[in-house]
A and B are shown apart, each in its own frame.
Chain A
Amino acid sequence: MSNTTTATPDGAIGSAPPAQPRSVFWTTIRSWPVMTAIAILVLLVLVAVFAPWLHTVDPTALNPAARLKPVSPDYWLGTDAYGRDVFSRVLYGARVSLVVGLGAALLSVALGLAIGLAAGYFRWMDAIVMRVMDGLMAIPGILLAIALVSLSGASLVTVLVAITVPEIPRVVRLVRSVILSVRNEPYVEAAVSLGTPTFTLMRRHLMPNTLAPLLVQGTYVFASAILTEAILSFLGAGVPPEVSSWGNIMAEGRAYFQLLPGLVLYPGILLSLTVLSVNVLGDALRDALDPRMSQRV
């Protein structure tokens, strides 16, 4: 679960990982759970990309006359309360969920990296930046998200931003802790004494150290973003209903849970499977890239 900070009191990550022999990396990655997870994710991406050609209809096409139909040859997964084809919605929903997950991961990692680098390297910025980050962390993420969505209306972009913002402080903390632990490494000091300019120093010697933890953190953000999107939809602050996302299929379907549990369960199962796969992948990456990182959740 990504919505956690580091487990160590000050988040220090210890010294730079000694470069692992390649074989360790690949044996960790090549276990069956990890391969299954990767296969599932690849399949999902394919499904998302090729949704229009996979026996789907327009997922937004209403047909009030055929609402809440059970599974049938016409409607592979039945229809929802507007008579939309759930199968099509679920497939198209994969797009949204993947975009939300990937977008949140990329955005939070990119912004968190920039801020974290600055805070970790320029000590004078640290105090200010970290206070602001603490402040942001102290606001429950979901509330911030609800407020932001109310602020600028429900749209995919808003939801993305709303999910990303609360994740940023965690990434910042992570990056900062890595930088703090690496900035006094002899090879960094050696680069300083070789007269390497500050930005080159950051790019060349500091940033690569954050790559592995960020990759792992990114997977967790990915997973939790998908979940958060669902929860936001549940609370009525998710992506607009016109857009099909797993979250709002479930949110709309929850009123019919006892009649047509599929409305929650089909997207729910897919969502859990995705999150599960991403988490498995993240854990594997963590173990493979740096066993010491297993400290962080």
Chain B
Amino acid sequence: AQGQTITAVMHSSLRVLDPIITTAHITRNHGYMIYDTLLATDHDNKIQPQMVEGWKVSDDGKTYTFTLRDGLKWHDGQPVTADDCVASIKRWAQQDKMGQMMAEMLTEMKAVDAKSFTMSFSEPGDLVLRALAKPSGIAPFMMPKRIAETPATQAIKEYVGSGPFKMVESEFRPGLQVVYEKNQDYVPRKEAPSATAGGKHVYVDRVKWIATPDAMTSVNALVNGEIDYLEQLPYDLAPIVESNDGIKVEVLDPMGYQTVMRMNHLHKPFDNKLIRQAAMYAVNQESILQAQIGNPKYYQTCPALFGCGLPYESKAAEEISVKGNIDKAKELLKQGGYDGTPVVILQPTDTPSVNSQPVVIAQALRAAGFKVDMQAMDWQTVVTRRAVQAPPSQGGWNIFATNNTMIEALDPLRAFGVVANGPKAWFGWPDVPAIEKLRLEFARATDEAQRKDLAHKIQALVVEEGVLLPMGQYFVPAAFSKKLSGVMPSPVPVFWNIKKSAG
């Protein structure tokens, strides 16, 4: 009755509606539906203006002035003002890691008039642009001032943005469905759309995200024409869909994902670098990826911590990360004086994308001579357990595996897994000051070649020290009905530019 609707099954269900408070991808995706960003990153990883008309840099390179473009309106009809943006940036900068980095250098941020504001920094650099164009992690979405003034640790209660879609709050069912309708007042940019940048033209009336708890069910529903779009097609079910004339299977996020292994540096046996290396040598990417993905079309072994085919690609420490070498592992184990302390591996059982890695890791470690204690639990328990710093015997852990989207691990600043400042670092708490030093240099570097070199060095250190082990890169195909046209490649699934034909 409401004209054209796209029904989509997303990778998970939407419950948390505040895109600043969580890094959950589904909430980020929701953010791109109803909010807009000041800057954006295009398909070629170039920074583009989005809500702003443009920006000016002062001669000393320390002050940026941003000017909003015309016609921006909140969903409640109020115009978007510079004040709103200042408040939004403030809130975001408290939550996002890159934002925090930026905030440390920020000396002043203020609205100049209704449509422009300035940001001044203690040092010259373009960090502000990279931060504000950040497409993932916590993306800097703009909200009206009254909402953006909600403390950063409290979830917002009002969902008013200026993005191309409006949320139909009456139809929101936490965990089940969320419905968006076209924002008639939205003024798209003139440029062609490109990833999260460019003109966000909406051609359908409504977009409905539903959640299905069962992969099989979603695929069947797609085949049966009950849904139009499946964000993540389970690899093993691809053949069913591929053989179907009405359905297109396509990898929309060209950067893909990376699966990683993390060891706990605080406790035996992985407080010993040699033993960490032994574990890393034991694992080989191919079998991890085979078990996890299966179909070689969708994965590649990759030594690059910051992504193969991406700006900071490097082959550093390749011999450790890619092939694996069981003899070397055994030798290192002996050198490290492994005393048979069992390795506690956290194994989630309810989340397909991380179910298989621990199983393969366990088998590899056993082959190398480790004693392994697999502990199965649901993902929520993994999430809690991995934060426990106590020894494995008292509820702690030694190994867990997870996945990163490459867009969040694109460079040493975004990649939270390479942070190595001890107790403040991500779970596993590696303490390698050399890495931190290089990262600081990276943040300050302005020359791309210099950055590449730094990234290369960081990668070598990260892997050799056993901070984070990349276990391969993979790509997630989306499947959608051929009734949809204009589905764009993008690291974030977007629903503008899509047209739906009848019938």
Q: Report A-B touching, CB under 8 Å.
A: yes
Chain B, residues 216-227, CB within 8 Å of chain A (1/0): the string is: 100010000000
* Interface-located stretch among A60-68, A101-109, A197-205, A215-223: A60-68
Which range holds the interface residue count of chain A?
20 to 34
Contact of A255 among B236, B291, B347 (CB under 8 A): B236
* Interface-located stretch among A150-158, A177-185, A283-291: A150-158
The yes or no answer to B294 lying at the interface (CB within 8 A) is yes
Known: A241-B355, A255-B234, A255-B237. A153 touches B377 (CB 8 A): yes
The yes or no answer to A82 lying at the interface (CB within 8 A) is yes
Which chain A residues in 253-286 approach chain B with CB under 8 Å? 254-259
Contact of B360 among A64, A239, A255, A258 (CB under 8 A): A64
Which chain A residues in 44-80 approach chain B with CB under 8 Å? 60-62, 64-65, 67-68
In the bound complex, what is the Cα–Cα distance between A60 and B347 (angstroms)? 15
Known: A64-B360, A67-B294. A240 touches B378 (CB 8 A): no
In the bound complex, what is the Cα–Cα distance between A155 and B355 (angstroms)? 16
The answer to whether A150 and B381 have CB atoms under 8 Å apart is yes
Contact of A259 among B239, B350, B359, B362 (CB under 8 A): B239
The answer to whether A67 and B377 have CB atoms under 8 Å apart is no
The answer to whether B240 and A82 have CB atoms under 8 Å apart is no
In the bound complex, what is the Cα–Cα distance between A255 and B356 (angstroms)? 14
Which chain A residues in 172-227 approach chain B with CB under 8 Å? none
Contact of B378 among A60, A150, A255, A259 (CB under 8 A): A150
In the bound complex, what is the Cα–Cα distance between A236 and B289 (angstroms)? 22
Which chain B residues in 342-397 approach chain A with CB under 8 Å? 347, 349-350, 352, 355-356, 359-360, 362-363, 374-378, 380-381
Residue of B nearest to A81 (CB): B236
Q: Within 8 Å CB of A117, what residues of B?
A: none
A165 to chain B, nearest CB (A): 19
The answer to whether B374 and A240 have CB atoms under 8 Å apart is yes
Q: Within 8 Å CB of B47, what residues of A?
A: none
- Scoring B240, B375, B378 by chain A CB atoms within 10 A of each residue's CB, the highest score goes to B378
Contact of A83 among B240, B291, B349 (CB under 8 A): B291
A258 to chain B, nearest CB (A): 6
Q: Within 8 Å CB of B378, what residues of A?
A: 150, 236-237
The yes or no answer to A10 lying at the interface (CB within 8 A) is no
A49 to chain B, nearest CB (A): 25
Residue of B nearest to A158 (CB): B376
In the bound complex, what is the Cα–Cα distance between A246 and B352 (angstroms)? 19
In the bound complex, what is the Cα–Cα distance between A163 and B349 (angstroms)? 19
Which chain A residues in 137-161 approach chain B with CB under 8 Å? 150, 153-155
Q: Within 8 Å CB of A64, what residues of B?
A: 286-291, 294, 360
B282 to chain A, nearest CB (A): 14
B238 to chain A, nearest CB (A): 10
A263 to chain B, nearest CB (A): 11
The answer to whether B291 and A62 have CB atoms under 8 Å apart is yes
In the bound complex, what is the Cα–Cα distance between A237 and B379 (angstroms)? 11
- Scoring A61, A68, A150, A236 by chain B CB atoms within 10 A of each residue's CB, the highest score goes to A236
The answer to whether B216 and A155 have CB atoms under 8 Å apart is no
Q: Within 8 Å CB of B294, what residues of A?
A: 64, 67-68, 81
Q: Within 8 Å CB of B363, what residues of A?
A: 60-62
Count of B interface residues, CB-CB < 8 Å = 33
- Scoring A62, A68, A238, A257 by chain B CB atoms within 10 A of each residue's CB, the highest score goes to A62
Known: A153-B375, A153-B377, A259-B237. A81 touches B215 (CB 8 A): no
Chain A, residues 1-35, CB within 8 Å of chain B (1/0): the string is: 00000000000000000000000000000000000
- Scoring A64, A65, A257 by chain B CB atoms within 10 A of each residue's CB, the highest score goes to A64
B412 to chain A, nearest CB (A): 31
The answer to whether B376 and A242 have CB atoms under 8 Å apart is yes
In the bound complex, what is the Cα–Cα distance between A222 and B349 (angstroms)? 25
The answer to whether B290 and A240 have CB atoms under 8 Å apart is no
Q: Within 8 Å CB of A257, what residues of B?
A: 216
- Scoring B286, B289, B291, B381 by chain A CB atoms within 10 A of each residue's CB, the highest score goes to B291
In the bound complex, what is the Cα–Cα distance between A240 and B347 (angstroms)? 9
The answer to whether B374 and A81 have CB atoms under 8 Å apart is no
Known: A81-B236, A82-B356, A255-B237. A241 touches B290 (CB 8 A): no
Q: Within 8 Å CB of B220, what residues of A?
A: 258
Q: Within 8 Å CB of B289, what residues of A?
A: 64
Q: Within 8 Å CB of B239, what residues of A?
A: 259
In the bound complex, what is the Cα–Cα distance between A154 and B375 (angstroms)? 7
The answer to whether A240 and B349 have CB atoms under 8 Å apart is yes
A117 to chain B, nearest CB (A): 37
Known: A62-B287, A256-B236. A241 touches B376 (CB 8 A): yes
B388 to chain A, nearest CB (A): 13
The answer to whether B374 and A242 have CB atoms under 8 Å apart is yes
Q: Within 8 Å CB of A239, what residues of B?
A: 376
B356 to chain A, nearest CB (A): 6
In the bound complex, what is the Cα–Cα distance between A241 and B240 (angstroms)? 26
A10 to chain B, nearest CB (A): 40
Q: Within 8 Å CB of A242, what residues of B?
A: 347, 359, 362, 374, 376
In the bound complex, what is the Cα–Cα distance between A83 and B290 (angstroms)? 10
Q: Within 8 Å CB of B375, what residues of A?
A: 153, 240
Which chain A residues in 84-138 approach chain B with CB under 8 Å? none
Known: A62-B360, A82-B356, A241-B347. A254 touches B290 (CB 8 A): no
Q: Within 8 Å CB of A241, what residues of B?
A: 347, 349, 355, 359, 376
Q: Within 8 Å CB of B360, what residues of A?
A: 62, 64, 82
B418 to chain A, nearest CB (A): 27
In the bound complex, what is the Cα–Cα distance between A292 and B297 (angstroms)? 65
Closest 3 CB pairs between A and B?
A64-B290, A240-B376, A236-B350
B residues lining the A interface (CB < 8 Å): 214-216, 220, 234, 236-237, 239-240, 286-291, 294, 347, 349-350, 352, 355-356, 359-360, 362-363, 374-378, 380-381
The contact sample of 6 A-B pairs, CB cut-off 8 A, is A65-B290, A83-B290, A153-B381, A236-B349, A237-B378, A242-B376
Apart from A81-B294, A258-B216, 10 more pairs, CB < 8 Å: A62-B363, A64-B291, A67-B291, A82-B291, A150-B381, A242-B359, A258-B220, A258-B237, A259-B236, A259-B237
